Every structure is written in C-alpha cells, then in structure tokens.
Amino acid sequence: MASSLASSVFLCPLANPKFPSPSPNPNPNPRRRRKRSSSQSRFSPISACSASSFRNGTPPETECPVPLEQQPVNEYQALSTSFPFSWAAADLQDYCSRLALTGVSFALFVGLPVAAFGTRAVTDPEVDGLRCALGSVFTGLLAVTLAVVRMYLGWAYVGNRLLSATVEYEETGWYDGQIWVKTPEVLARDRLLGSFSVKPLLSRVKLTLVGLAVSLVACVFLFINIENPRNPAEDAGERAVAGVYNDASARSFEPDAFCGEPDLS
C-alpha cells in the first residue's frame, strides 16, 4: 500500500518536471476561445497606408479620390502656415502688431519719399508737411488693405470648401475637373473645422477691412480739402483760358487799354 502510494506520487505530473503543469483555469468552452482570438485579430496594427491617411486628415475607411493637396482639410493646414494668411490665425496682439509694422514700413520707405517728391511745388511749409504726412499714411494704409484683402480671399475660399457638401477637384489638370460628394464623417469634420476655426478668422478680417476703409476715406477727404496756396506772381502772368474772361490777365497783356478804367475784379 505504501509502495503504491509512493509510485502514484512519483508519477504525478505536478511532481514530475518533465510534464508541463496544466493551466489553473482551463477554458472548457471553445467558442469563447474563438471569440477572443477574433477580437485580438481585429485590433491589428495600422498599416502604412492607414497611418498616412490619418495624418492627412482622411479616415482609412473612406476612399477619397481627391488628391491630398486639394482636400479642404489639407488646404486649411497649408493656409494656416503660409504668409500672410497665418497672421489672421495668430493672437489678436500679434495680428495687430504685424499689420501695424507692415503699414509703418510702407509709409516710411515708400510713401514718404513719393509724397515728399510730389509736394515740392507747394510754397507753404505747413501745407507741404501736412500733405507729405497724409500721403505717407495713405500709402501705409493702402498696403495693409491689400494684404488684408488677400487674407480674406484665401480664408473665404477654404471656408467655402470646408462647409460645402461637395468638393471640386482636378485629377491631372484644369480639363478633367471632378466633383466628389463628402461622406457623413468627412462632412461633419470639415464643417466643425470651418465653423469654429475659419468663421472667427473671417469676422476678424472683415472688421479690419471696415476700419481700413474708413481710414482711407478720411485720408483722401483731408488731402483734398487742404488749401493749396497760390503764388501772386504766377497769377499775374497766367494766360487767359479760352472762353473765360480774366480781368487781371487782360490788364497784364494790354495795360494801355485799361487806362482810367476801374478794376472790375
């Protein structure tokens, strides 16, 4: 009896290192094991094509025929990092400082020399300086206005493509234009991006354009209403315009004919 018990203990697989020990919790149900294996195979690593599509903003399950550089989300990313469109996407302080620096640079290096050259004929120094200052300010405002208009056109184009349900694209050139209808996932993503990222930028640019337009009109109004002093010596020797009588011009040409007659002017 003792020998049989010892032999049974010796032949037990738990005590013999040559035999592997059974698992403590065996899975008697093969269906559960099959489900687990299928779930593990479902979460396989993402392929290179899928990873590139995620980086480009297109879900891997969406077969988008639009080239990468013509997709609205990629156009938005390219516009937000290009000059000068990235100014509108910056903070309000950086946006205003960049526009002010641009205007001052054009006013000093372009507008001031041109205005100084154009106002040399004015004899009054006060009027001369005022006209020169207004001309330089007008040049700076005009340069900033052109830059802001360019920003508005670019962001409005990208915003329309993001909010639209279709995308117009070209496969190889202008002659083979196509239209792709966005899937619900892509349409929701693009409209969120256009509503919360592009529309605030357009509102900021519109307000800037309104302010610049008012400033330009004020500069033009002041420049026109500045009195240009006339030199009396030049008025005495100017010739009469055909069809218009000028008493001073007539007296300067024929002084003997007006002897003893009162001055009509």
CA dihedral for 201, 203, 209, 215, sign (positive or negative): negative
Distance of CA 175 to the CA centre of its chain: 28
Give 167's strand partners: 180
pLDDT at residue 45 greater than cutoff 50:
no
Give 181's strand partners: 166
Give 168's strand partners: 179
Taking Cα atoms as reference points, which of 245, 257, 163 lies closest to residue 202? 163
Task: Give the span between the Cα atoms of 156 and 153, in whole angstroms.
Answer: 5
pLDDT at residue 158 greater than cutoff 60:
yes
Mean pLDDT (whole number) for 238-257: 64
Assigned token pair, 10: 């010796």
Amino acid at 185: E
132 and 112 in contact (C-beta within 8 Å)? yes
Q: pLDDT at position 105, please?
A: 95
Assigned token pair, 238: 């100017």
Q: What is the pTM of this model?
A: 0.62
Higher-confidence position of 25 and 101: 101
Higher-confidence position of 245 and 172: 172
